[in-house]
Copies of this chain bind each other. A is one copy, B any other.
Amino acid sequence: MAIDEVFKALADPTRRRILRMLQSGDLSAGEIAQEFGIRGPSMSHHFNVLKHADLIEGKRDGQQIVYSLNTTVVQDMLAMFMDVMQPKKEPTGESQ
């Protein structure tokens, strides 16, 4: 887990939002992408950054890639931190 990668990954609001989405459960690339006004390839890039930071993990399930949070101690702290800074919402939670 390269600390530099983690902080760089967190520097982007889109990626932080992806992490927050995954806090409520696993989601496919498409399900995540849907919530953003961003094309697939750009989303794919964000997934890659998060994977390299070891913050998420992707598993193929049929045609889709299902992403899940890597919940190690550090990443739990991170989740905590992100909750303090910006609580996640219930319904179609969206802000930043």
Interface residues of A (CB under 8 A from B): 3-4, 6-8, 10-11, 13, 16, 73-74, 77-78, 80-81, 84-86, 96
Contact = CB atoms under 8 A, between A and B. Distances in A.
B81 A3 contact: no
Nearest to A3: B85
8 nearest A-B residue pairs (beta carbon): A11-B11, A3-B85, A7-B11, A7-B10, A8-B11, A81-B81, A77-B81, A3-B86
Copies in the complex: 2
- Main secondary structure, interface of A, reads helix
A4 B13 contact: yes
Contact of A3 (B7, B8, B77, B96): B96
13 contacts: A3-B86, A3-B96, A7-B7, A7-B10, A7-B11, A7-B13, A7-B16, A8-B11, A73-B84, A74-B84, A77-B80, A77-B84, A81-B81
